[in-house]
Chains A and B, each alone.
Chain A
Amino acid sequence: MNVQFRKHPEPASSVDARTAIADCDIHPARATRTELYPYLARRWHAHLETYDKHPYQGMMEGPPYPKAQPNASRRDAYPPEGGPQGSSLSFMQKQHLDPNNVVLGVLNPLNTGQGIRNHDLSAAICSAINDWQIDKWTSQDSRLKGSVVVANEDGLAAAAEIKKRAGDRNFVQVLLLSRNVEPLGQRRYWPIYQAAEEAGLPVGVHAFGFGGNPITASGWPSYYIEEMVGHSQCQQTALASLVLEGVFERHPGLKMIMIEAGFGWAPSLAWRLDKSWQRLKSEVPHVRRPPSETIRDHIFWTTQPMEDPERRDHLLEVIDWVGWDKLLFATDYPHWDYDEPSRVLPAGVSDANREAFYLGNAQKLYGLA
């Protein structure tokens, strides 16, 4: 976060300039509106010019909740050659990858083909985004790895795209968003999990997305801050759905990553799920293990935006409950609520935990150790 106020400065754990880190949430952008066209069949060019994307929300241009800054991105992240923040590899290298010694950067493209009502268009844009990630990013900088972006509402098309990319070392995960037409455990999404497990790819679920549902269980809120804070609630419910539909009983090899939705809520959600499951397990006989065990075995969490307690030892206790082996460091570059690598962990963390947090867990999960 680029606005910091603290009454009394606290000692932060200093990351040595040479300490290598993984950044598991980087957002690459297109420099121009038509940058994807070379990867799209000609029929879609005309379609997009005429009808645009037709998503599960009303705004033709821009998000329904105006962001706090242009493109939700740092004002200092505009590339000198022009284009929006995050659209230049050379500037990303200069501003972020090199100075922060990012040795593994996972790309999570947003504003893709996901959340589009025309599912053929959705699949075409997603596949184009994947080709574009290889051409513009991963083939140009070996530190960067892509995400297989899939047509989230069309399970079969999504599975086909995952099969197409399976074994391609440019990609380290499948990417979904948290808000969809239905909760993520629902059967329409099962082909995605099947294909991901077969391809040996974890599935990342990034906060955001459009599914047509009000973003609270009481309808639409008024403010951007409600949407931002609310990503954690959407993510909690999506995760509860995955657990309670038995997705991990069906796919014991599947790993999932909760991206940019916080992790401080994980213990209380797991406890609530356990307690409710003890009472109501007769309704969900396919859920055979306590939900907290399933979450512990299958779920990883990216760190940004780190919860920020008044007393930072409280944060360390929560990480003890979540598991030091389950967190993946992320900055969210170039977004405005970027977490600065040198400042996120308070002092007093063991070297082994620090190494796992900044790099080791990500290398292990993504098979890059």
Chain B
Amino acid sequence: MTSPIPGGVDCDLHPAVPHLTSLLPYLDDYWRDQVTTRGMTDLVSQSYPPNSPITSRPDWRPSRGKPGSSLDDMRAQALDPFGTRYGICNPLYGVQMVFSEDMADAFCRALNDWLAKEWLDRDHRLRGSIVIPVQSIEKSVAEVERCAADPRFVQVLMLVMGDMPLGKRAYWPIYAAAERHGLPIGIHAGSNYHNPPSSVGWGSYHIEDYVAQAQAFQTQLTSLIVEGVFVRHPKLKMVMLESGFTWLPSYLWRLHKFWRGIRMETPWVDRAPLEIVRSNIRFSLQPIDAPPDPTTLNRLFDHMQSDELLLFSTDYPHWQFDGDAALPEGMSPALVRKIMIDNPLATYGRLMQAVFEETTP
């Protein structure tokens, strides 16, 4: 096993909202009344059915309540054992599935306030992602602006499967706001189920939805690159969360080949896709979709041709590895340091700022 080093950043932790009623204190009178009068049910996405094996590691599953709903458990199971200096909370509550932009906006504001009060206030290691009501670009920008005032929010969170490909120009005001505040855009696995959860329609099984997340990340990267997001926003970082990364090399070989052939269609893309990924895109470590033998995995790291792309993550409480084996076997100490400390700090400007402030007398 490769040992984690203390002082690292865990870039993908999932605190769970116990129930929609947990957000009631953070809703205004109108929405509190709507939730209760209309008998609204909990917003749980079938991307992660609560009892599915991937949703929680067996030994991390609480005796009652949703996996990830207890801060004490997160401390004991993720933050303490891995010596985490900063842990980034990415709530996967199903607010993106809502169709009304007003309702989505109310729930997102409540969710972000809930995260700040019930998690960030209670453990100084925790940082948050701003969940936005993507149903409205205008409201999303407003929510980024509102939450960005709190320096503990370190990124903006979106799902990989939504209404439109993420490179579409309509989204760009969100990216402009994120860039302005030094916030990366985190794109996490999951669907709002407004489109079929695969590019060829509705599959039969939960496992198909999960496997298809990787393909969704691939099409989103294409969209982000060829629409020109990083031409307009060269400083913007995007982090693919729970995306897998072993598909990246062959995906880029293909994209690069077609870009060379038909770049006349998107002439504003002024750098090779490969270079854009190296400068602007990062990937969380878990899940590692590779065989357990270190040889193959080290070949894959070589195929990636950069040690700056990966950011350490446990994906807590999702079941991606057993025991303490968050880092794959055979990883060099230099790469461990890059993945756990250097790369996350270089990606999340607000974490680097916090380190600077903590270490400056």
**Closest CB in chain B relative to A5 CB, distance in Å:** 6
Number of interface residues, chain A, beta carbon within 8 A: 74
Question: Which residues on the B side are within 8 Å of A280 (C-beta)?
Answer: 52-54, 205-207, 210
Asked if B262 and A184 make an inter-chain contact with CB atoms under 8 angstroms apart, the answer reads: no
Q: Nearest chain-A residue to B303 (Cβ)?
A: A314
Q: Is B162 an interface residue (CB 8 A)?
A: yes
Interface size class of B (residues with CB under 8 A): 35 or more
Q: Is B195 an interface residue (CB 8 A)?
A: yes
**Closest CB in chain A relative to B329 CB, distance in Å:** 15
A267-295 near B? 1/0 per residue, CB < 8 Å: 11101110111011011100000000000
The answer to whether A238 and B200 touch (CB under 8 A), given A262-B254, A280-B206, A283-B207, is: yes
Q: Is B324 an interface residue (CB 8 A)?
A: no
Tell me the complex Cα distance, A311–B303, Å. Answer: 8
Asked if A229 and B254 make an inter-chain contact with CB atoms under 8 angstroms apart, the answer reads: yes
Q: Is A183 an interface residue (CB 8 A)?
A: yes
A294-317 near B? 1/0 per residue, CB < 8 Å: 000000000001111111001101
Question: Which residues on the B side are within 8 Å of A222 (C-beta)?
Answer: 165, 167-168, 223, 226-227
Asked if A216 and B199 make an inter-chain contact with CB atoms under 8 angstroms apart, the answer reads: yes
Asked if A218 and B166 make an inter-chain contact with CB atoms under 8 angstroms apart, the answer reads: yes
**Closest CB in chain A relative to B134 CB, distance in Å:** 11
The answer to whether A211 and B165 touch (CB under 8 A), given A279-B53, A307-B254, A336-B261, is: no
Q: Nearest chain-B residue to A2 (Cβ)?
A: B261
Asked if A217 and B199 make an inter-chain contact with CB atoms under 8 angstroms apart, the answer reads: yes
The answer to whether A264 and B254 touch (CB under 8 A), given A276-B207, A280-B54, is: yes
**Closest CB in chain B relative to A211 CB, distance in Å:** 6
Asked if A213 and B219 make an inter-chain contact with CB atoms under 8 angstroms apart, the answer reads: no
Question: Which residues on the A side are within 8 Å of B246 (C-beta)?
Answer: 267-268, 271-272
**Closest CB in chain A relative to B64 CB, distance in Å:** 22
Question: Which residues on the B side are within 8 Å of A1 (C-beta)?
Answer: 257, 260-261
Asked if A221 and B303 make an inter-chain contact with CB atoms under 8 angstroms apart, the answer reads: no
Q: Is A85 an interface residue (CB 8 A)?
A: no
B151-179 near A? 1/0 per residue, CB < 8 Å: 00000000011111111100000000000
Partner of B290, one of A68, A217, A241, A271: A271
Question: Which residues on the B side are within 8 Å of A178 (C-beta)?
Answer: 200
Question: Which residues on the B side are within 8 Å of A240 (C-beta)?
Answer: 203, 208, 211-212
Q: Nearest chain-B residue to A261 (Cβ)?
A: B254
Q: Is B291 an interface residue (CB 8 A)?
A: yes
Q: Is B215 an interface residue (CB 8 A)?
A: yes
**Closest CB in chain A relative to B44 CB, distance in Å:** 17
Asked if A218 and B255 make an inter-chain contact with CB atoms under 8 angstroms apart, the answer reads: no
Asked if B305 and A310 make an inter-chain contact with CB atoms under 8 angstroms apart, the answer reads: yes
Question: Which residues on the B side are within 8 Å of A276 (C-beta)?
Answer: 54, 207, 210-211
Asked if B258 and A228 make an inter-chain contact with CB atoms under 8 angstroms apart, the answer reads: yes
Asked if A183 and B200 make an inter-chain contact with CB atoms under 8 angstroms apart, the answer reads: yes
Q: Is B244 an interface residue (CB 8 A)?
A: yes
Asked if A223 and B261 make an inter-chain contact with CB atoms under 8 angstroms apart, the answer reads: no
**Closest CB in chain B relative to A145 CB, distance in Å:** 27
* Cβ < 8 Å to A, chain B residues 281-315: 287, 289-291, 296, 299, 302-303, 305
Q: Is A236 an interface residue (CB 8 A)?
A: yes
Q: Is B22 an interface residue (CB 8 A)?
A: no
Tell me the complex Cα distance, A238–B97, Å. Answer: 25
13 contacts between A and B (CB under 8 A): A3-B261, A218-B160, A221-B165, A223-B227, A223-B266, A224-B262, A232-B251, A237-B212, A240-B211, A244-B204, A265-B247, A268-B250, A271-B246
4 nearest CB pairs, A to B:
A264-B250, A307-B253, A272-B289, A233-B215
A-B contacts besides A219-B164, A226-B223, A230-B199, 13 pairs, CB < 8 Å: A183-B203, A215-B199, A216-B220, A217-B198, A218-B163, A222-B226, A236-B215, A237-B200, A237-B212, A240-B212, A276-B210, A280-B207, A337-B258
Query: Using a CB–CB distance below 8 Å, which chain B residues touch chain A?
Result: 52-54, 160-168, 191, 195-208, 210-212, 214-216, 218-220, 222-223, 226-227, 244, 246-247, 249-251, 253-262, 264-266, 274, 287, 289-291, 296, 299, 302-303, 305, 319
